[in-house]
Amino acid sequence: MNFPDVPGPADTAGRARLPSKLSPMLATPGVPPRGEAGWAYEMKWDGVRALAFIEDGQLRLASRTGRDITVAYPELTALGRAAGTQLLLDGEVVAFDDGRPSFAQLQQRMHVTSAVQAARLSGQVPACYLIFDVLHADGHPLLDQPYARRRELLEALDLNDVSWQIPPSFTGYAAEDLLVVSREQGLEGIVAKRLDSPYRPGRRSGEWRKIKNVLRQEVVVGGWRRGEGERTGQIGSLLVGVQSPAGLVYAGHVGTGFTRQTLQLLGDRLAARQQPASPFAGEVPREHARGAVWVRADLVIDVAFAVWTPEGRLRAASYQGLRDDKDPADVIRET
């Protein structure tokens, strides 16, 4: 395999060392490129972004925020031995339900920190690592290489197994047609990537565009209201917001989509974050603020919703999952 000669700090074998950490490149919400050449398209996977650092057969998985999540996915450790001596890969950890990625299924795996529990769950809810980029290979940094070249090198690695695979990248197709295919397959959407784009760590670039089939949004929890009836003594709804130049602005409330286990998990997390004052910049509507329990705004959740109202509120928002892999400071309105 012919790699570019790119200088960098070298190890004793003369290879450029793997970086100890890296922030993944992010896509900008947008519309499909129309009549524009020079784009590739990938399906958008409903999972958890993860970088795979592989050195001498050992694997370390890092979340988007840099947290080590290797222990949560023991079935992926064999990727280190299969991949070779030195690689840095970018991809998404998913869990399948009836052949489709299911974020609800993955929720059972995401927050596990016990090796024993993770090993048990790996047999019940197996995870799969979907690899879509290679950033460093065999002592050669590849960040400055165009997407098309990185993709060529990635596919030459032939990393396909039960617990990891390289999903296809499509060129020569209309974005609208691939969006239809993604919708028919029950997927979240597509990601358009410019063929000449380098990899820009930590940046949300228009060279990568994500186009969604359904409206999804990450939001920060700033408070909650107590439930009634069957939910007495539990969370009734979450008060959520998104970041703005003025701070965290109120974006509405989320009162559906919770399971009994979810309510217990969120209740435990929020109890440790309680504070006397609202974390939102500006006023929260009186009917929502009445009786609210305010919390430290560092918990991120994912929601599906019908539409943004003219006031900037989520209509008919439904809880989809907890996002430990997202930094609350990065949560902005996307759709």
- What residues act catalytically? 44
Instruction: Choose among 281, 301, 280: nearest CA to 223.
Output: 280
Query: What are the two backbone dihedrals, phi and then psi, of residue 102, each rounded to the nearest 5 degrees?
Result: -130, 115
CB 211 within 8 A of CB 32: yes
Taking CA atoms, 310 is separated from 219, 288, 313, 314, 315, in Å, by: 18, 18, 7, 10, 10
Contacts of 228 (CB under 8 A, 6+ apart): 236
Contacts of 217 (CB under 8 A, 6+ apart): 242, 251, 302, 303, 305, 314, 333, 334, 335
Alpha carbon 53 to its chain centroid, in Å, reads 17
Distance CA 40, CA 171 (A): 5
Could you give the angle at which helices 115-124 and 103-110 cross, rounded to 10 degrees? 160
Distance CA 44, CA 29 (A): 12
CA atoms lying within 13 Å on the CB side of residue 328? 16
Contacts of 113 (CB under 8 A, 6+ apart): 71, 72
- Residue in the block written with tokens 């958890």: 48
Contacts of 289 (CB under 8 A, 6+ apart): 239, 278, 283
Distance CA 252, CA 313 (A): 5
Distance CA 231, CA 96 (A): 30
